Every structure is written in C-alpha cells, then in structure tokens.
Amino acid sequence: QLQLQESGPGLVKPSETLSLTCTVSGGSISSSSYYWGWVRQPPGKGLEWIANIYYTGSTYYSPSLKSRLSLSVDTSKNQFSLILSSVTAADTAVYYCARRQSGSGYIDSWGQGTLVTVSS
C-alpha cells in the first residue's frame, strides 16, 4: 500500500527558504507510470497546485511560484523535495505531496499534509 509522508520545519521566518521532503513507501518513485507533486492549502482557503516532477527530474511549476521554486527527486532514497525561497506570510499553508498517474488527471494518493507557518 503506497504511503506518502511530508517532512520539514513547521515554522519558517519571512524571507527565508522553506524546504519540504516527501518520502514514498510501498512503491517506487522511479516508476514511469507516475508524476509526483505538491499541492498547498492556506488555512481556511482552497487548494493550489504548486508543481510536479517526474523520476527523470523533469519539472513543471506553477507560473505564479516558478521564480521561487525548485523541485528535486532522489531515487536512491525514494524521496522528492520542494524548496520555496523568499517566503512571506502568504506562503503559510498545509503542504501536501501527491502522486498522479501519467497521462491522466488521476491523483491517486496524497500525503497527510504538513502545516508550514511563515512567521518571525
């Protein structure tokens, strides 16, 4: 059974860098059948797509976050990571990692989510 688990600091200071890792268990991140990605949700608000990454390292970013965003994948650790620079209070959100089937809009697995608060 596939499981995704987000990890990283729960508190980040304004202007600093947010770093999160998603650890995949019960399946291989190197499968050609899936894309891996991040979605966030500010408290009390809606979902926002952040980015996707393929096991080869190909990345697809939200235009609104692209200038501050970087995704990477570590197939040896079965993990993928997100780095968001120059954060502000507007980046405070629950961050979810997720798996999407290739060639489809089917997001079939989600992490439980991790709350990241941007505050001094």
Partner 1 sequence: QSALTQPASVSGSPGQSITISCTGTSSDVGAYNYVSWFQQHPGKAPTVVIYDVSTRPSGVSDRFSGSKSGNTASLTVSGLQAEDEADYYCMSYTRISAWVFGGGTKLTVL
In contact, 97 and 109? CB cutoff 8 Å: no
Token pair for residue 55?
A: 């096991």
| Residue from 61, 68, 70, 78 in contact with partner 1 (CB under 8 A) | 61
Residue of 3, 80, 91 lying closest to 38 (CA atoms):
80
| Residue from 5, 19, 30, 48 in contact with partner 1 (CB under 8 A) | 48
70 binds partner 1 (CB under 8 A): no
Smallest distance, Å, CB 16 to partner 1? 26
Q: What angle do CA 4, 9, 10 make, to 5 degrees?
A: 90
d(Cα 98, Cα 89) in Å, to the nearest integer? 24
Smallest distance, Å, CB 93 to partner 1? 13
8 binds partner 1 (CB under 8 A): no
User: Site residues (CB under 8 A) for partner 1?
Assistant: 39, 46-49, 52, 60-64, 96, 104-108, 110-113
